[in-house]
């Protein structure tokens, strides 16, 4: 029997799942077809909306966008204020300020355990590199660590969690002028883990509150303690006057609230996570939460195989997607399609020495002809590659080289879109949410209209 859905979403990252959720809420039957892990496995789990105004702003097709960056301008306190002034080709322009706000409302309502919705202001979150960065929504486990909160802070690193050096991060935060006292210590994670144990292994131990070897007691008998208690016991003597304690993001995959509650009870101080990754546990938790929300809304998932091509109907619209499974192409029929395959990281945008392309529908991706214009000579310069992706009309339909929609029933969302450098402006998840919601809704409405 043929597989038939109203809306098919290609890609199961934050953009694809948001699109699916929005479409399902419009009453459409929705399927997400996703190949591999999404970028959330690597990303911090923070939802940035806009942390800095974009650089002087050229589109990716235009190589003289290399004038000075936004300079030393500090972070935006209010991301929403700046959105109406964004360039024409920025994805936020397609959805408008109201689109961004509506997407955040959808997110706040669908995903438990995030904070930041009580204000329009950005929050400054301490990073594992010791800087602070502006974001709009953050996991509850990150909330007590915000840099504008003046409480004295202890950062705790683990000898074998090499991405987070707590004493160095503490010194760095001080150099960044944070308004609180901060110290860092490095301790050994309790138990007999290998030096190269993954952070997910430590998280599992905390989730299950596994009994861990706690060394020998004075009588020489080896003792074991539950993981959470053992961890608190290691940290407690170092607490001093700190009112909050920050750990790298290893506090469980699923049981983060109870792990934090247990640690807080033992330590008598607030406990927070400093986002780390890859692999990013906060990102994985967010992925799980979004998936749960989609399932609740009736979205179906087909995972593990790529969409390798498509079929068109007589009208040039997409009629079916071809999913490649064990060498065979299986058609998935849909009335309307959302492309949410991610950017260069998610493999939604691909390139070779000559050109840049969108591999599933072969949508046009504007880019300079010479690959030596794809990058800037400074590592943090104004990279054209960072803005690679499809260009769309106001309805998020990808445009071909002439500026016409590639297909009337194809929309794009998230990382696969061009025209913004999420890393420089800190807008990644925000663009995925806003364009995901808009694309999903439009796709569902197109189905109900026809």
Ligand X SMILES: Cc1cc2nc3c(=O)[nH]c(=O)nc-3n(C[C@H](O)[C@H](O)[C@H](O)COP(=O)(O)OP(=O)(O)OC[C@H]3O[C@@H](n4cnc5c(N)ncnc54)[C@H](O)[C@@H]3O)c2cc1C
Which residues sit at the interface with ligand X, rule CB under 6 A?
10-16, 33-36, 38-40, 42-44, 46-48, 306-307, 340-342, 345-348, 360, 414-415, 422, 428-430, 432
Examine residue 203 and tell whether it contacts another protein (CB under 8 A): no
Question: What is the C-alpha separation between 194 and 295, in angstroms, rounded?
Answer: 37
Binding partner selected for residue 84 from another protein, ligand X, none, CB under the kind-specific 5 to 8 Å limit: none
Beta strands at 244-248 and 270-274: parallel, antiparallel or unpaired: parallel
Q: Which does 362 bind (CB under 5 to 8 A by kind): another protein, ligand X, none?
A: none
Residue 252 in tokens: 């469980």
Q: Going by C-beta distance under 8 Å and a sequence separation of 6 or more, which residues neighbour residue 41?
A: 277, 278, 279, 280, 283, 284, 287
Query: Residue 24: which residues within 8 A CB-CB, separation 6 or more?
Result: 30, 294, 297, 298, 299, 444
Judged by beta carbon distances under 5 to 8 A according to partner kind, the member of another protein, ligand X, none in contact with residue 13 is ligand X
Site track 140-169 with another protein (rule: CB under 8 A), x = hit = x--xx-xxxxx--------xx-xx-x-xx-
What does the per-residue mask of binding to another protein show for 71-110, with x meaning CB under 8 A?
-xxxx-x---------------------------------
Burial of 195 (0-12, 13-18, 19+ CB in 10 A): exposed
First and final C-alpha spacing in the chain = 23
> Of 87 and 167, which has the nearer Cβ to another protein?
167
**Which residue among 21, 94, 123, 339 contacts another protein (CB under 8 A)?**
123
Task: Verify binding: residue 408, another protein, rule CB under 8 A.
Answer: no
Give the shortest CB-376-to-ligand X separation in angstroms. Answer: 19
**Residue 36, contacted partner among another protein, ligand X, none, CB below 5-8 A by kind:** ligand X
The count of other CB atoms within 10 Å of the CB of residue 113 is 14
- Residue 119 binding partner per list another protein, ligand X, none, with a CB distance cut-off of 5 to 8 Å that depends on partner kind: another protein
DSSP string, 97-146: HHHHHHHHHHHHHHSTTEE-TT-SS-EEEE-TTS-EEEESBEETTTGGG-
Contact 273, 249 (CB under 8 A): yes
Name the residue nearer to ligand X (CB basis): 219 or 326: 326
Q: At closest approach, how far in Å is the CB of 38 from another protein?
A: 13
Number of helices (H) and strands (E) in the chain: give both, helices first. Answer: 10, 19
Cα gap 286→111, rounded to integer Å:
8
Selection from ligand X, another protein, none that 370 binds (CB < 5 to 8 A by kind) is another protein
Residue 365 CA: distances (Å) to CA of 13, 52, 281 = 20, 25, 32
Q: Considering the complex, what minimum distance in angstroms separates the CB of residue 72 from another protein? A: 4
Within residues 252-291, the interface with another protein by CB under 8 A covers 275-278
The option from ligand X, another protein, none interacting with 405 (CB < 5 to 8 A, set by class) reads: none
Q: Which CB sits closer to ligand X, 63 or 200? A: 200
């Amino acid at each position: 029997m043929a597989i038939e859905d109203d809306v098919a979403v290609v890609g199961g990252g934050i953009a694809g799942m948001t699109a699916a959720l929005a479409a399902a809420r419009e009453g459409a039957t929705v399927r997400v077809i996703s190949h591999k892990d999404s970028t959330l496995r690597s990303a911090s789990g923070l939802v940035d909306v806009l942390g800095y105004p974009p650089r002087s702003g050229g589109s990716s097709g235009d190589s003289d966008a290399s004038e000075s960056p936004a300079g030393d301008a500090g972070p935006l306190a209010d991301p929403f204020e700046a959105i109406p002034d964004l360039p024409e080709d920025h994805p936020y322009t397609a959805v408008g300020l109201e689109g961004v706000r509506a997407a955040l409302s959808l997110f706040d309502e669908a995903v438990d355990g995030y904070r930041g919705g009580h204000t329009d202001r950005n929050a400054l979150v301490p990073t594992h590199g010791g800087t602070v960065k502006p974001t709009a929504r953050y996991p509850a486990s990150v909330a007590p660590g915000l840099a504008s909160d003046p409480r004295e802070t202890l950062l705790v690193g683990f000898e074998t969690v090499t991405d987070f050096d707590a004493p160095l991060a503490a010194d760095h935060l001080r150099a960044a002028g944070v308004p609180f006292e901060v110290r860092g210590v490095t301790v050994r994670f309790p138990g007999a883990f290998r030096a190269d144990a993954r952070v997910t292994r430590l998280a599992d131990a905390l989730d299950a509150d596994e009994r861990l070897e706690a060394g020998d007691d004075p009588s020489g008998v080896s003792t074991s303690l539950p993981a959470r208690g053992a961890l608190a016991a290691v940290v407690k003597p170092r607490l001093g006057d700190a009112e909050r304690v920050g750990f790298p993001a290893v506090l469980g995959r699923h049981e983060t609230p109870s792990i934090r509650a247990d640690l807080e009870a033992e330590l008598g101080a607030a406990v927070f996570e400093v986002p780390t990754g890859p692999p990013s546990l906060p990102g994985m938790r967010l992925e799980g939460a979004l998936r749960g929300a989609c399932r609740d809304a009736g979205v179906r998932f087909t995972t593990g195989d790529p969409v390798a091509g498509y079929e068109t109907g007589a009208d040039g619209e997409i009629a079916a997607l071809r999913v490649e499974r064990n060498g065979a192409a299986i058609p998935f029929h849909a009335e309307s399609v959302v492309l949410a395959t991610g950017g260069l990281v998610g493999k939604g945008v691909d390139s070779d020495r000559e050109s840049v392309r969108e591999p599933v529908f072969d949508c046009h991706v504007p880019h300079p002809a010479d690959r030596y214009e794809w990058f800037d000579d400074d590592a943090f310069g104004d990279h054209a590659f960072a803005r690679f992706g499809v260009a769309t009309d106001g309805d998020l339909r990808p445009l071909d080289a002439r500026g016409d929609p590639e297909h009337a029933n194809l929309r794009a969302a998230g990382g696969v879109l061009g025209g913004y450098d999420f890393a420089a402006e800190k807008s990644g998840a925000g663009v995925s949410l806003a364009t995901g919601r808009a694309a999903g809704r439009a796709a569902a409405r197109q189905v109900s209209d026809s």
